[in-house]
Amino acid sequence: MTTSTQGVFNIGAVRADFPALAREHHPGTPLVYLDNAATTQKPRQVIDELDRYYREYNANVHRGIHLLSEEATAAYEEARLKVRRFIGAASRREVIFTRGTTESLNLVAQAWGRANLGPGDVVLSTVMEHHSNIVPWQILAGEKGFTLRFLSVTPEGKLDLDEYQRILASEPVKLVTVAAVSNVLGTVNPVAEMARLAHAHGALILVDAAQAVPHMALNVQSLDADFLAFSGHKMAGPTGIGVLYARRALLDAMPPWMGGGDMISRVTLTGTTWNELPYKFEAGTPSIAEAIGLGYAVDYLTGLSMEAVHAHERMLTSYALERLAEVPGLTLYGPEADERGAVVAFTVQGIHAHDVAQVLDMHGVAVRAGHHCAQPLHDHLGVAASARASFYLYNTTDEIDALIDGLYAARRTFRI
């Protein structure tokens, strides 16, 4: 690994790996891509492997007794092994490929939740969750009659662990489901400590790691997570592929939630037995190219080292918080730099978040505006929408300067 003025790896070489970063936004305006919490750009190492799969060995997996199918199956299963190592799972059987975090969370609700939750049980979530960690539980609660509770968020944008312990001690919580990193506040939640406390009270914990796995070294065993979900497209991989990690004993006991090809051992007209793990939870033709691509994204991140990625992003986030604080009328949401991931949401007094994003877009700066699939959190913050800049391993402090220049331009445009 080389060092640079921008962080702990050679940022010029890293940027050269991502073809989309070289394009112009409008003619003559460079692209400043700061919408990484929504999805990240892809390096040529991933794009090339997707291309190679389709050109050279496109075939269905686990089925054909022919060369191409064997090559596709080997590459698909190799990707599973890469993911297993990356998150420190004990076995490849604990790594289920899904279409993304949303599907992983729904899988837990529909397979584990449907079999284990009923009247009198409590599922404990938080106000800062993405809709994909709220709605599946609301749907299931309506059917199964359990109670869905939400931890509140402190004015600093953090969870209150005292409140957490009080609820665990006084209510029949069966599952805690929490984001490792908020996609709006950027808050890094103390999930290892939350897991310890959940287990001490006989509850399981599901970690939504969509904004964590791409950005920091994470080990499911040291976290002691029972379930953990993430998406490939937020970590330099393709869309349409994600992961559910779950403890083997839980997966063994859970019924499947989707039926179809590959997830069966034997089907008769009167009944079916299930395939072994992980295939019991992978019905139908999976996202083969995408899983292989995710494996190469994992290789790419591992090559840089997650510690280096995290250090680079922390440097960017500290710099962004410092510079954003200079902009008059700007309200920042979430905790200090040392307690947050690479996400910065804000509002600018007198300018709607969509207008902020529009003016930034005119300056080549891509951010997201809206509720970021976290409406309950925005209700809690008392704003309908916010603008959000989110960083990844290829961003630079110059790009944050471009964001700030764009914000001053927005103020001028709206005469504020």
Ligand X SMILES: Cc1ncc(COP(=O)(O)O)c(C=O)c1O
Q: Does 211 bind ligand X (CB under 6 A)?
A: yes
Nearer to ligand X, 208 or 224 (CB): 208
3-state secondary structure of 173: strand
Q: How far is the CB of 123 from ligand X (least distance, A)?
A: 16
Q: Which residues contact 240 (CB under 8 A, 6 or more apart)?
A: 99, 100, 232, 233, 287, 290
Give me the amino acid identity at 182: S
Question: CB–CB of 196/223 below 8 Å?
Answer: no
Q: Does 293 bind ligand X (CB under 6 A)?
A: no
Nearer to ligand X, 252 or 379 (CB): 379
Nearer to ligand X, 11 or 159 (CB): 159
Residues 372-391 that bind ligand X (CB under 6 A): 373
Q: How far is the CB of 150 from ligand X (least distance, A)?
A: 15
Question: CB–CB of 408/165 below 8 Å?
Answer: no
| DSSP line for 215-245 | TS---HHHHT-SEEEEEGGGTTS-SS-EEEE
If one counts every other C-beta atom within 10 angstroms of the C-beta of residue 21, the result is: 18
- Indicate which single residue of 197, 210, 298, 332 sits in contact with ligand X (rule: CB under 6 A): 210
Gap between the Cα atoms of 298 and 79, Å rounded: 9
Residues 121-140 that bind ligand X (CB under 6 A): 130, 132-133
Nearer to ligand X, 79 or 206 (CB): 206
CA atoms within 13 A on the CB side of 111: 23
Q: What letters, b where the CB count within 10 A reaches 16 and e where it falls short, cover 353-374? A: bebbbebbeebbbbbbbbbbbb
- Indicate which single residue of 106, 125, 231, 395 sits in contact with ligand X (rule: CB under 6 A): 231
Per-residue string for binding with ligand X, 65-104, x by CB under 6 A? -----------------------------------xxx--
Q: How far is CA 244 from the centre of its chain?
A: 11
Catalytic residue among 373, 384, 404, 409: 373
Nearer to ligand X, 6 or 125 (CB): 125
If one counts every other C-beta atom within 10 angstroms of the C-beta of residue 255, the result is: 12
- Indicate which single residue of 49, 94, 208, 224 sits in contact with ligand X (rule: CB under 6 A): 208
Q: How far is the CB of 183 from ligand X (least distance, A)?
A: 3
Which of 372, 369, 356, 367 is closest to 395 using CA atoms? Answer: 367
358 in active site: no
Question: CB–CB of 161/124 below 8 Å?
Answer: no
Q: Strands 29-30 and 227-231, how do they pair?
A: unpaired
Q: How far is the CB of 308 from ligand X (least distance, A)?
A: 23
Nearer to ligand X, 215 or 411 (CB): 215
Nearer to ligand X, 37 or 72 (CB): 37
Residues 29-58 that bind ligand X (CB under 6 A): 37
Q: What does the block give as tokens for 229?
A: 């979900």
Q: How far is the CB of 3 from ligand X (least distance, A)?
A: 31
Q: What does the block give as tokens for 177?
A: 């489901």
User: Residues touching ligand X: how many (CB under 6 A)?
Assistant: 14
3-state secondary structure of 122: strand
- Indicate which single residue of 73, 183, 189, 390 sits in contact with ligand X (rule: CB under 6 A): 183
The residues annotated with a catalytic role in the active site are 373
The footprint of ligand X (CB under 6 A) covers: 37, 100-102, 130, 132-133, 179, 183, 208, 210-211, 231, 373
